[in-house]
Structure 1
Amino acid sequence: MKNLYILLAVVLFITACDNDLDQSPPKQLEASALTDLTGVLNAAYHYQTGTATPLAIMGDFRADNMLMDEEPYPAFDRFNSDLAGGDLVEQFFRPFYSNLYKSILSANNVINNSTQANDIAQAKFLRALSYFKLIMVFGDVPVNLDEAPSAEDLTIFARQPAEGIYNTIIIPDFQDAIASLDNSGLSSGRATKVAAQGFLGKVYMHRRNFSGAATQLAAAISGASSAGISLESNFANVTNDSSSEIIFATQISSSIPSAYTAGTDFAGWFEGGDTKSLFPLDSDLTAAFDASSAAGGGTDLRKDLSINPALSVGNKYNETLEQDFIELRLSDVILLYAEALNETGSPATTVLPLLDDIRDRAGLNSLTGTITSQSAIREAIQDERRLELAFEGHRWFDLVRTGTVDAEMGQTINSNYHVFPIPNSEVLASNGVITQNPGYIN
């Protein structure tokens, strides 16, 4: 069953202030005076539901998988200041930004005040995950490690370099989570050791620390196996809430309103369920599936299970009202591990067999013996990630971290547009202490 969050903490920590970083509760109760922080931890999980749709849209509609139809939404495919327009900010960037800082605020409360080691470890996992998402989307961001930051000193909201946030918050928090968590929360949407290992490996991949990534990803694969996580035999089941390969998912239930209230959910966008994009499928993704069959030997079964070219929509998701957002699954980790090994110089005979179970499920032959160079293997892994993880919010962020944006998008794109615009409401509320990303200043 989906994990049901306690709403008391949600009500306590949502504020009416326009500045999303100014989240101190209004005098009902000092945060440090709370003795039962279970609800606060649940709130930290709940706010992650507000990030699912924005992250999925940014990951696939900014890239070459999906397209928008109705203005101003096609700004996702124009690499200029248009993306900072009000409608787009309010529907995607502001909910993403504000809910992550609310999750961080709740996590800080648990970390700073709880005496329960497991709760603290879960909170550190969520804080690390939140900052990781923020950096992927916005680059440098403000840092808050307090449960009740002062609204009087706006200088604390100045954006901090991503490198420092990785080194002082994200990596240490994931490491602490790994040291303290077990895998008992896998079926309940809770943080686990294997999830922390997998995300830390992904963090290292984004920082191009391939040896560190290989270590963590190998541990995640081993831990997943021990915990009963395995590849689905049928690709049609990989995004089901009960999929056997889910390592961590943000659970969404109709019993409790999602923290995302800005419109169509992520599954609906891919299915053409929003008037802003009734025919969202990018023909480039269709061509990529066809090329996979032609080059790989076999017929890529993922095509018909992921897209409907005749209707120009995606059909990967079977649920809409309560579709969980899969943040990390086993295929993702395996492909990242293969990539890490390839980047550290492992031979093709070591790297390519890692892809075999994924490709076999897709109806494709093994690549072992067909390619041997590091560059060819690199390209094959990225192609595999695109098709395997389509509509799961990864594509754009993979292009950015691998430095292949221009090559894959077929145009020269200013690096300013590798990240997204900070919500202008944050810039204004901070009196300019929070600065806008270059290229989005009108």
Structure 2
Amino acid sequence: MKNIYLLFLGSLLLNISCSTDLDEVPPNIASSDSLTDFEGVLNAAYYYQLGAVTPMAIMGDFRADNALMLESPYTEFDEYDPGLTAMEDQFFGPFYTALYRSILSANNVIENSEDPTQIGEAKFLRGLSYFKLVQAFGDVTVILTSPDIGDIPTFDLTRKPMTEVYNNVIVPDLQAAISALGVTNVNGRASKLAAQSLLGKVYVHMGNFASAEPHLAAAVNGAAAGGISLQANYADIFVTDLNSEIIFANQVSSSVEDEYGFSDFWSWFLGNDTKSPKPLDSRLISAFDASPGDLRRAINMDDVALNSPKYPQVGGPEHDWIEIRLADVILLYAETLNENGVPATTVLPLLDAIRERAGLDKLDPNTINTQALVRQAIYNERRLELAFEGHRWFDLVRTGTVETEMGETVNSNYYFFPIPISEILASDGVITQNPGY
């Protein structure tokens, strides 16, 4: 158990140091002069989310039919076999470590702070972290306390079933965050609206549309009161930080160096990483070909250079990674209503503002008039609206459309990503690998 001790001791020490040593911080991270009010520890929980951003983006788009890897062994992202373990050092290891460090910082705040807002934000971040972990890995280790050093060797590191993590950790944390937080997004920090939106999304990923509906309805209907609205121009969403459409984002700043030491998401999508200089997948080109006149096309892709110019490249890494924005929530709400049997005449108008912004006509409920047709229309809209925002692969998995959309047989073992081998070894095998790897 010595390795377990060292693993978690290292994470704890890093949590403490990064909560006090940030000289400059992005706007959504509050600075702190002292740990006594736990603002600095909460700061660390936000900070560690940055290390998960690029791995999540790569998993969401390069594993799916939006982007391609061109250099071995990175091509394993486009292959569904055990070889994906070769990507541990650059993607799965940093992702796993960053989220557990965020969780340990959040645990510290939840256990020790007397400030209800701090606790609410920490629960939101812990719920978000575990949601990302189960999306990527399925069953995961659950740690809900901030351990004393002497307690670390006794911790249960066995992976808990995904459904248990959803029901016993993620959902309760987000419910608590909803109760504790205000509606307004203050300097990019977690808000009630963000927690409502995320809980609705979580229920959708669980396939529980009945439970998802009230939370997504509250988020969509309460957006205006929280200062949230669709941007008039689609392109502006991705060039202006904390704009009106963003419900929650991880703030990225060149003045704060995160621990992810490789090429960042904006470089990957534009093809500036030599592993994939022309990342655009021809299947995304075909999807936009089927939507003539779509103004989102030029923002999402350059089908001559075969890349995506969606994110700014000039001026350093100043662009935020959007976790939740209003269009995503509206589309999830429309999907939820459709799955709950609401007629097309009610569901399809929810898409009107999104489509009109894209220069497209409204969808006709007299033509798209069955649950299956409405479902496919929403899936199509999500693909085009949210391209290169890290959603696509996880949408395919949750909707059961991996094989249909990828055009090949895919063993369901490879719907999840490999647990980092370093974590398995450090736990003396207590943490186990996913099947197939």
Q: TM-score scaled by structure 2?
A: 0.91
Superposition deviation, residue 304 in structure 1: 1.1
Contact 1:50 1:258 in 2 (8 A): yes
Aligned partners of 2:222 and 2:176: how far apart in 1?
17
Cα separation, 2, equivalents of 1:187 and 1:387: 29
Whole-Å Cα distance in 2 between the matches of residues 64 and 25 of structure 1? 40
Q: Secondary structure at the match of 2:291?
A: helix
2:70 counterpart residue number:
69
User: What does 1:68-147 correspond to in 2, within 5 Å?
Assistant: 68-85=69-86, 88-147=87-146
Letter in structure 1 aligned against 2:355:
R
Q: Which amino acid aligns with 2:89?
A: E
RMSD after superposition: 2.0
Contact 2:54 2:264 in 1 (8 A): yes
How far the C-alpha of 1:390 sits from its partner, in A, is 0.3
- Cα distance in 1 for partners of 2:260, 2:351 equals 35
Aligned-residue offset at 1:288: 0.2
Mapped partners of 1:349, 1:217: distance in 2 = 19
Are 1:307 and 2:301 an aligned pair? yes
Partner in structure 2 of residue 325 of structure 1: 321
Match of 2:7 among 10, 13, 19: 19
1:289 matches 2:288: yes
1:334 alignment partner, one of 311, 327, 330:
330
Name the SS of the counterpart of 2:290 in structure 1: helix
For 1:336, give the aligned amino acid: L
Q: CA deviation at 1:141?
A: 0.3
What is the correspondence of 1:356-435 to structure 2 with a 5 Å cutoff? Answer: 356-368=352-364, 369-435=366-432
Does the CA contact (< 8 Å) of 2:188 and 2:242 recur in 1?
A: no
- Residue 353 of structure 1 pairs with residue 349 of structure 2: yes
Q: Contact 1:142–1:157 (CA<8 Å) still a contact in 2?
A: yes
CA deviation string 1:320-354 (max 9, x = no partner) = 51111000000000000000000000000000000
Distance apart, 1:34 and its partner CA? 5.4
**Residue ranges of structure 2 left out of the alignment (5+ in a row):** 20-33
The residue number in structure 1 matching 2:254 is: 254
* Counterparts of 1:311 and 1:324, CA distance in 2: 24
Partner of 1:11: none
Alpha-carbon distance, 1:183 to partner: 2.7
In structure 2, the residue matched to 1:39 is 40
Contact 2:35 2:41 in 1 (8 A): no
Q: Distance in 1 between matches of 2:127 and 2:283?
A: 34
Alpha-carbon distance in structure 2 between the residues aligned to 1:159 and 1:93? 16
Partners in 1 of 2:220 and 2:37 — Cα distance? 35
Instruction: State the Cα deviation string for residues 28-76 of structure 1 (Å, max 9, x = none).
Output: 99x9x95231100000000001111000000000000000011100100
State the secondary structure of the residue aligned to 1:350. helix
Corresponding residue number in structure 1 for 2:268 = 269
Cα drift, residue 18 of structure 1: 6.7
- Kept in 1, the 8 Å contact 2:11–2:101? The answer is yes
Amino acid at match of 1:23: S
Secondary structure in 1 matching 2:323 = strand
Percent identity of the aligned residues? Answer: 57
CA–CA separation in structure 2 for the residues paired with 1:181 and 1:47: 21
Rounded Cα–Cα distance in structure 2 between residues aligned with 1:400 and 1:70: 25
User: Which secondary structure state, in structure 2, belongs to the residue aligned with residue 365 of structure 1?
Assistant: coil
Once residues 18 and 144 of structure 1 are traced to their aligned partners in structure 2, the CA distance between those partners, rounded to angstroms, is: 16
- Give the whole-Å Cα distance in 2 for the aligned partners of 1:148 and 1:386: 42
Q: Distance in 1 between matches of 2:304 and 2:36?
A: 57
Cα distance, 1:193 vs. partner? 0.2
- Equivalent-residue separation in structure 2 for 1:373 and 1:53 (angstroms): 38
Task: Find the residue that maps to 2:7 and give its secondary structure.
Answer: coil
Deviation at 1:187, TM superposition (A): 4.6
Deviations 1:386-419 (A, max 9, x none): 1100000000000000011111110111110000
AA aligned opposite 2:81: N
Indicate the residue corresponding to 2:29 in structure 1. none
The answer as to whether partners of 1:348 and 1:373 remain within 8 angstroms in 2 is yes
For the residue of structure 2 that corresponds to 1:188, the secondary structure is coil
SS at match of 1:151: helix
The structural deviation recorded for 1:243 is 2.6
Q: CA separation in 2, counterparts of 1:398 and 1:223?
A: 25
Cα distance, 1:17 vs structure 2 = 8.2
One-letter amino acid of the structure 2 residue matched with residue 343 of structure 1: E
What is the letter of the counterpart of residue 51 of structure 1? A
Q: Secondary structure at the match of 1:364?
A: coil
CA distance in 2, matches of 1:53, 1:172: 27
Deviation at 1:370, TM superposition (A): 2.6
In structure 1, stretches of 5+ residues that fail to align are 1-15, 294-298
Q: Count residues in correspondence.
A: 413
Distance 2:353 2:407 in 1: 31
Matched-pair contact (CA < 8 Å) for 2:193–2:219: yes
1:17–1:23 CA contact under 8 A, matched in 2: no
Normalising by structure 1, what TM-score?
A: 0.90
Q: What is the one-letter code of the residue matched to 1:345?
A: G
Give the secondary structure class of the aligned counterpart of 1:326. strand
In the aligned structure 1, how far is the partner of 2:367 from the partner of 2:89?
48
**AA partner of residue 384 (structure 2):** L
Structure 1 residue 167: Cα displacement: 1.1
- How far residue 151 of structure 1 moved from its aligned partner, in angstroms, is 3.3
Shift of 1:19: 2.8
In the other structure, the counterpart of 2:218 is 219
